[in-house]
């Protein structure tokens, strides 16, 4: 892989702004997906329960794209890459885990029965915290939920994808392939099942470095992929594919062995659509810049809160339900909870984001500098 990536050019501002907008929108979609649980919104948002996996697939493709971009333009060594990735993860994960534990404790004081439900797992707290912060929470067929924080599962997937990328990009020859093979054995099948979606993002970066689609073709692909996704959802095919997986493998096996990868067949359709959409957005970067540049500061501000919004919203939703006992059948109260949680995350996110530099400094002495062969 070190010899396959072409000499890079900086990411166009228009594309960067659009990807920031997509990232924040996907995080909001995940929030609404979880708010759609009947006990939190009375069933009025039931359709949104179907869209959570789709939003995470957007994150996976986007993550692969950004990692390929940063590795080639900003992180020339394995040490620099490792520091940046761990700083990025821990700068948000550590405060998110602390806040999750605090919210769960306070929420259980208001409504102990609520925190005895399936969505909260609090046994062996030190072990759960270790698995969460080491991002080993989803290896093989385990799925260790850090207390009420269900969305944490995807970090256990992405951390593996980061490591696989680093092995193949920074370590030359058979040693890199051997390291990647060892990581795959460590990860297990359910993480690897969604790895192609993440690697589509790497492919998108490679593709956009080689050529740019003409504006007319880009526009057709941009809106065509949106229409294709809408048709895919409208057709009911995602539900059919999920049901076919359950019918073929058995419901118990799907839960035990696939867990959060249970919609992998739909993901294999959604991932390519997202990848093609990003290629189209690259071709329309100048037009997107003209459209989004006036809103640049706001977009960047909201984008900074994406990771915090993703990791904090679910414990906050459950706490709001326990502490305030709002009327889940009242659209205005549900909207207030949604806006309140999103607003808090938008305020917290940039504060947390500023700690990333301190994490890099803390990690700097731990990683020897090694020059990449790219």
Task: Tell me what the mean pLDDT of segment 131-135 comes to.
Answer: 97
Instruction: Judge contact between 148 and 318, C-beta under 8 A.
Output: yes
DSSP E strand boundaries for the chain: none
- Residue 115 to residue 98: CA distance in whole angstroms: 17
Instruction: Judge contact between 60 and 197, C-beta under 8 A.
Output: yes
Q: Which residues contact 371 (CB under 8 A, 6 or more apart)?
A: 76, 77
Nearest residue to 231 (alpha-carbon basis) of 189, 263, 273: 273
- DSSP state at residue 139: S
pLDDT score of 358 more than 90: no
The per-residue pLDDT for 11 is 82
Nearest residue to 313 (alpha-carbon basis) of 157, 153, 149: 149
The per-residue pLDDT for 102 is 97
Q: b/e string for 213-250 if b means 16 or more Cβ within 10 A?
A: beeeebeebbeebeebbeebbeeeebeebbeebbeeee
- Residue 147 to residue 132: CA distance in whole angstroms: 10
pLDDT score of 158 more than 80: yes
Instruction: Judge contact between 285 and 219, C-beta under 8 A.
Output: no
pLDDT score of 189 more than 50: yes
Mean pLDDT value across the chain: 92
Task: Tell me what the mean pLDDT of segment 84-91 comes to.
Answer: 94
pLDDT score of 145 more than 50: yes
- Residue 372 to residue 102: CA distance in whole angstroms: 42
Locate 69 and state its tokens.
């971009």
The per-residue pLDDT for 365 is 64
The per-residue pLDDT for 360 is 85
- Residue 106 to residue 111: CA distance in whole angstroms: 9
pLDDT score of 16 more than 90: yes
- Residue 367 to residue 166: CA distance in whole angstroms: 14
The three-point CA angle 342-143-120 to 5° equals 50
344: left (phi over 0), alpha (psi -120 to 50) or beta: alpha
Binned at pLDDT 50, 70 and 90, residue 364 comes out as: confident
Binned at pLDDT 50, 70 and 90, residue 239 comes out as: very high
Task: Tell me what the mean pLDDT of segment 87-108 comes to.
Answer: 95
- CB neighbours (10 Å) of residue 192? 17
- CB neighbours (10 Å) of residue 105? 13
Top pLDDT among 370 and 231 is at 231
- Residue 43 to residue 36: CA distance in whole angstroms: 7
pLDDT score of 367 more than 60: no
pLDDT score of 126 more than 60: yes
- Residue 156 to residue 313: CA distance in whole angstroms: 18
pTM confidence score: 0.92
The per-residue pLDDT for 107 is 96
Strand partners, 121: 147
The per-residue pLDDT for 331 is 95
pLDDT tens column, 291-310 = 999 999 999 999 999 999 99
pLDDT score of 3 more than 50: no
Instruction: Judge contact between 355 and 53, C-beta under 8 A.
Output: no
The per-residue pLDDT for 9 is 66
Sorted by where each begins, the domain ranges of the chain are 13-115+200-364
- Min mean pLDDT across 100-109, 183-192, 320-329, 346-355 is at 346-355
Binned at pLDDT 50, 70 and 90, residue 8 comes out as: low
Task: Tell me what the mean pLDDT of segment 47-68 comes to.
Answer: 94
Per cent of the chain over pLDDT 70 is 95
Strand partners, 147: 121
- DSSP state at residue 77: B
Task: Tell me what the mean pLDDT of segment 8-26 comes to.
Answer: 89
The per-residue pLDDT for 10 is 72
**How many residues does this entry show for the chain?**
374
Task: Tell me what the mean pLDDT of segment 315-323 comes to.
Answer: 96
pLDDT score of 2 more than 60: no
The per-residue pLDDT for 363 is 85
pLDDT score of 372 more than 50: no
């Amino acid at each position: 892989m070190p010899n396959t990536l072409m000499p890079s050019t900086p990411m166009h501002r228009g594309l960067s702004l659009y990807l920031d907008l997509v990232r924040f929108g996907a995080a909001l979609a995940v929030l609404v997906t979880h708010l759609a649980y009947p006990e939190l919104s009375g069933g009025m948002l039931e359709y949104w329960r179907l869209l959570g996996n789709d939003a995470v697939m957007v994150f996976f493709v986007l993550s692969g794209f950004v990692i390929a971009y940063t590795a080639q333009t900003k992180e020339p060594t394995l040490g620099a890459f490792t520091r940046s990735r761990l700083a990025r993860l821990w700068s948000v994960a550590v405060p998110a885990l602390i806040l999750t534990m605090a919210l769960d404790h306070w929420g259980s004081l208001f409504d102990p029965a609520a925190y005895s439900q399936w969505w909260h797992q609090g046994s062996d707290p030190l072990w759960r915290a270790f698995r969460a912060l080491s991002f080993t929470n989803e290896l093989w067929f385990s799925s260790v939920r850090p207390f009420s924080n269900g969305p944490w599962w995807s970090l256990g997937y992405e951390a593996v994808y980061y490591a696989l990328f680093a092995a193949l990009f920074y370590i030359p020859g058979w040693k890199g392939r051997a390291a990647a093979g060892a990581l795959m054995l460590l990860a297990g099948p359910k993480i690897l099942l969604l790895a192609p979606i993440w690697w589509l993002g790497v492919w998108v970066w490679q593709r956009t470095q080689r050529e740019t689609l003409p504006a007319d073709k880009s526009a057709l692909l941009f809106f065509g992929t949106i229409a294709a996704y809408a048709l895919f959802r409208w057709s009911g095919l995602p539900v059919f594919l999920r049901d076919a997986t359950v019918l073929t493998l058995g419901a118990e096996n799907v839960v035990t062995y696939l867990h959060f990868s249970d919609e992998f067949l739909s993901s294999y359709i959604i991932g390519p659509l997202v990848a093609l959409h990003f290629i189209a957005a690259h071709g329309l970067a100048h037009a997107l810049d003209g459209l989004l540049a006036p809103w640049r500061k706001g977009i960047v501000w909201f984008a900074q809160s994406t990771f915090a919004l993703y990791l904090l919203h679910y414990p906050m939703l459950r706490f709001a339900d326990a502490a305030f006992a709002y009327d889940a059948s009242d659209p205005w109260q549900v909207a207030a909870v949604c806006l309140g949680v999103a607003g808090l995350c938008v305020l917290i996110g940039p504060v947390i984001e500023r700690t990333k530099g301190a994490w890099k400094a803390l990690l700097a002495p731990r990683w020897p500098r090694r020059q990449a062969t790219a």
